[in-house]
């Protein structure tokens, strides 16, 4: 947690103000019992009304002063702790944004969300508590003891006897509760995972009538969390009454022994009253510290989870000294590239070598799982290769900044993903300052104009969360338009035509040819019709190149290609 505390630095002035106010507030609380003793001993016992009114007035002022300090203090505390939460969330989000896809997979989305929200709140809460007690509790405890000693030296032994009891009760409770708090966060992760899967997979669940099953799964995760929470709260709930009991028993003991001393004339009544109030202050501040000790380990568990995220140094980072950009544009070269996913036994692709340049269309074809997506994902450096090199414009992708590299590429991923917002905003995702004409033109090429205009508000129509109000093919066309509007040097289409009907597919490719004329184009596809006219076709089979060449060349030479073809076309059509 200390590591995270460094992030609070922007609020150091507010914290200083809080500490000063806490100091003043504690002073007022410590001063009141002494005044009270004076009123009783000098005023009431001697019947001096003027004195009572005068000291009473001072007491009132001191109380009001303490109250004002407390109010301003809580205002600043709220600001600091909420601001601190904001800083942590921002930090985590910023850090996670730089994660490579592998690192996302290690934590899982559900856990990353819990860590950014719930865990941050835990830390934030304990900071509020610490801020409100940092000065108050020790001052009340130590000041209380000194002032109590001034009132009476003998009665202090009652307090000395009470303190070990407080400590023991408290230790017993903490020892059992703290480990459970850590378990609770893990169970919260599990619950969020089920929730996330159930929400996003609702169609599949309904289609396969698995509602009851998912319901049970959610219930069990929910119950699991609830059980732990109940256990831990039961233990902690014991803390308050136990402490109060000790506190009240101590008060009784003080009154008991105190009244004996008053009776003997060793002590004045006012002193006894003041002493009683000091002992309440002392024990109460110990109680506050006890609560803090329950909260700190809990927040510590959360802080650890947040730090785990922050401690990951993203494996894909920009080079310290990027190579200067050359004169080449749109060159892509794979040199004997091998790549495997973490934990996989076999490389997803191995020994891939080819090169392509501006004006050329390279198609990649192969069965599902043959490594097509993996291959194209290496071009924008979503992953780093195990061996070999990926060169873009003559430079290794690891030797240029990700920003420079990705600015060159218009990438249409296999999973079309849209964001909440208007159609135009989604297309402008490719180029923030694109004019409406550019947006329209991109949509036109992507064959998206018809359905966009049918959407009522046209380009201002809203795409709902996850793009559920457009079909799969429409989503694909919008994400193609998004890549087109950038006018990049390199286009990568990863199976981007799969949800289009044959006619739309053909029209789109014809329009594309005019648009992508002098750019470098990589098309991953399943259909022979889509790849037939490419300048170069790469046939992938289990991560290896099974053939490379034009349609005609491959027809002669590659058996894998022939098999793909014959599964799709009758022989006459090919000839």
Give dist(CA 363, CA 548) in Å, integer: 10
Does 476 bind Mg ion (CB under 5 A)? Our answer is: no
Size of the site for Mg ion (CB under 5 A): 3
Q: Binding mask 44-63 vs Mg ion (x if CB under 5 A, - otherwise)?
A: --------------------
Q: Which is nearer to ligand ADP, 344 or 503 (CB)?
A: 344
Q: Count of CB atoms within 10 A of residue 261's CB?
A: 17
Q: Count of CB atoms within 10 A of residue 322's CB?
A: 16
Q: How do beta strands 536-541 and 361-366 pair?
A: parallel
Q: Which is nearer to ligand ADP, 65 or 388 (CB)?
A: 388
Binds 421, which of Mg ion, ligand ADP, none (CB < 5 to 8 A, cut-off by type)? Answer: none
| Residue 402 Cβ vs ligand ADP, minimum distance, rounded to whole Å | 19
Does 370 bind Mg ion (CB under 5 A)? Our answer is: no
Give dist(CA 281, CA 290) in Å, integer: 14
Does 370 bind ligand ADP (CB under 6 A)? Our answer is: yes
| Residue 513 Cβ vs ligand ADP, minimum distance, rounded to whole Å | 24
Show contacts with Mg ion in window 381-440 (CB under 5 A). 414
| Residue 543 Cβ vs ligand ADP, minimum distance, rounded to whole Å | 7
Q: Report which of 427, 404, 415 is spatially closest to residue 376, judged by C-alpha positions.
A: 415
Show the beta-strand stretches assigned E in 449-530.
462-463, 490-494, 520-525
Q: Which is nearer to Mg ion, 84 or 493 (CB)?
A: 493
Give dist(CA 559, CA 534) in Å, integer: 19
Opening angle at CA 71, ends 237 and 22, nearest 5: 80
| CB 9, CB 87: distance < 8 Å | no
Binds 570, which of Mg ion, ligand ADP, none (CB < 5 to 8 A, cut-off by type)? Answer: none
As beta bridge partners, residue 545 has 540
Does 371 bind ligand ADP (CB under 6 A)? Our answer is: yes
Q: Which is nearer to ligand ADP, 284 or 339 (CB)?
A: 339
Does 575 bind ligand ADP (CB under 6 A)? Our answer is: no
Residues 6+ away with beta carbon under 8 Å from 144: 30, 278, 279, 281, 282, 285
Give dist(CA 354, CA 544) in Å, integer: 12
Q: Binding mask 344-363 vs ligand ADP (x if CB under 6 A, - otherwise)?
A: x---x---------------
Helix (H) / strand (E) element for 184: namely helix 156-200
Binds 341, which of Mg ion, ligand ADP, none (CB < 5 to 8 A, cut-off by type)? Answer: ligand ADP
Quick one: which of 57, 326, 359, 369 contacts ligand ADP (CB under 6 A)?
A: 369
| Residue 411 Cβ vs Mg ion, minimum distance, rounded to whole Å | 13
Q: Which is nearer to ligand ADP, 17 or 364 (CB)?
A: 364
| CB 291, CB 130: distance < 8 Å | no
| Residue 196 Cβ vs ligand ADP, minimum distance, rounded to whole Å | 17
Strand, helix or coil at 286? Answer: helix
Binding region for ligand ADP (CB under 6 A) out of 124-132, 255-263, 368-376, 475-483: 368-376
In sequence order, what DSSP letters do the residues of 208-273 get, joined into one string?
TT-HHHHHHHHHHHHHHHHHHHHHHHHHHHTHHHHHHHHHHHHHHHHHHHHHHHHHTTSS-HHHHH
In sequence order, what DSSP letters do the residues of 60-125 get, joined into one string?
HHHHHHHHHHHHHHHHHHHHHHHHHHHHHHHHHHHHHHT--HHHHHHH-HHHHHHHHTHHHHHHHH
Does 368 bind ligand ADP (CB under 6 A)? Our answer is: yes
Size of the site for ligand ADP (CB under 6 A): 11
Does 144 bind ligand ADP (CB under 6 A)? Our answer is: no
Does 320 bind ligand ADP (CB under 6 A)? Our answer is: no
Binding region for ligand ADP (CB under 6 A) out of 68-76, 354-362, 371-379, 431-439: 371-379
Quick one: which of 356, 370, 373, 504 contacts Mg ion (CB under 5 A)?
A: 373
Q: Which is nearer to ligand ADP, 51 or 341 (CB)?
A: 341
Q: State the residues that interact with Mg ion by CB under 5 A.
A: 372-373, 414
Q: State the residues that interact with ligand ADP by CB under 6 A.
A: 341, 344, 348, 366, 368-374
């Amino acid at each position: 947690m200390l590591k995270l505390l460094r992030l609070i630095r922007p609020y150091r002035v507010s914290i200083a103000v809080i500490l000063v106010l806490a100091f003043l507030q504690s002073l007022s609380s410590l001063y009141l019992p002494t005044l009270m003793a004076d009123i009783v001993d000098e005023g009431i016992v001697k019947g001096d009304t003027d004195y009572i009114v005068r000291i009473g007035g001072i007491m009132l002022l001191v109380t009001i002063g303490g109250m004002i300090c407390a109010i301003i203090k809580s205002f600043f505390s709220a600001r600091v702790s909420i601001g601190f939460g904001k800083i942590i969330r921002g930090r985590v989000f910023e850090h996670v944004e730089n994660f490579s896809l592998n690192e996302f997979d290690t934590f899982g989305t559900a856990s990353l969300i819990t860590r950014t929200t719930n865990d941050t709140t835990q830390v934030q809460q304990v900071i509020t508590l610490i801020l409100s007690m940092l000065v108050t509790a020790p001052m009340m405890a130590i000041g209380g003891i000194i002032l109590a000693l001034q009132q009476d030296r003998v009665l202090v032994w009652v307090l000395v006897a009470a303190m070990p009891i407080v400590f023991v009760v408290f230790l017993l409770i903490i020892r059992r509760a703290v480990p459970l708090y850590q378990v609770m966060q893990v169970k919260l992760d599990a619950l969020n995972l089920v929730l996330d899967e159930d929400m996003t997979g609702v169609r599949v669940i309904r289609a396969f009538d698995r509602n009851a099953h998912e319901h049970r799964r959610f219930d069990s995760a929910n119950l699991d969390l609830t059980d732990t929470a109940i256990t831990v709260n039961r233990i902690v709930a014991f803390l308050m009454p136990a402490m109060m009991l000790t506190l009240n028993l101590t008060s009784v003991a003080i009154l008991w022994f105190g009244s004996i001393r008053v009776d003997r004339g060793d002590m004045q009544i006012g002193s006894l009253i003041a002493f009683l109030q000091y002992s309440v202050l002392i024990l109460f501040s110990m109680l506050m510290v006890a609560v803090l000790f329950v909260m700190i380990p809990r927040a510590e568990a959360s802080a650890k989870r947040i730090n785990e995220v922050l401690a990951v140094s993203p494996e894909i980072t920009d080079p310290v000294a990027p190579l200067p950009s050359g004169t080449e544009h749109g060159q892509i070269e794979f040199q004997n590239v091998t790549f495997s996913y973490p934990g996989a036994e076999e490389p997803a692709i191995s020994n891939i070598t080819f090169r392509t340049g501006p004006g050329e269309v390279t198609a990649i074809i192969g069965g599902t799982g043959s490594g097509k997506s993996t291959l194209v994902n290496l071009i924008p450096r979503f992953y780093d290769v195990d061996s070999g090199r990926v060169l873009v414009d003559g430079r290794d992708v690891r030797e240029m900044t990700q920003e420079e590299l990705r600015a060159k590429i218009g990438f249409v991923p296999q999973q079309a993903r849209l964001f909440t917002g208007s159609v135009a905003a989604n297309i402008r995702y490719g180029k923030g300052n694109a004019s409406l004409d550019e947006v329209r033109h991109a949509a036109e090429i992507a064959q998206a104009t018809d359905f966009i205009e049918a959407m009522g508000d046209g380009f201002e129509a809203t795409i709902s969360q996850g793009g559920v109000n457009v079909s799969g093919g429409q989503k694909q066309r919008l994400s193609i338009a998004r890549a087109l509007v950038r006018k990049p040097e390199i286009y990568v289409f990863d199976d981007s035509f799969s949800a289009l009907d044959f006619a739309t597919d053909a029209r789109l490719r014809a329009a594309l040819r005019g648009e992508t004329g002098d750019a470098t184009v990589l098309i991953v596809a399943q259909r022979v019709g889509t790849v037939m006219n490419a300048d170069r076709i790469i046939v992938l089979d289990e991560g290896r190149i099974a053939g490379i060449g034009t349609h005609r060349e491959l027809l002669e030479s590659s058996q894998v290609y022939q098999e793909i073809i014959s599964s799709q076309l009758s022989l006459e059509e090919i000839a």
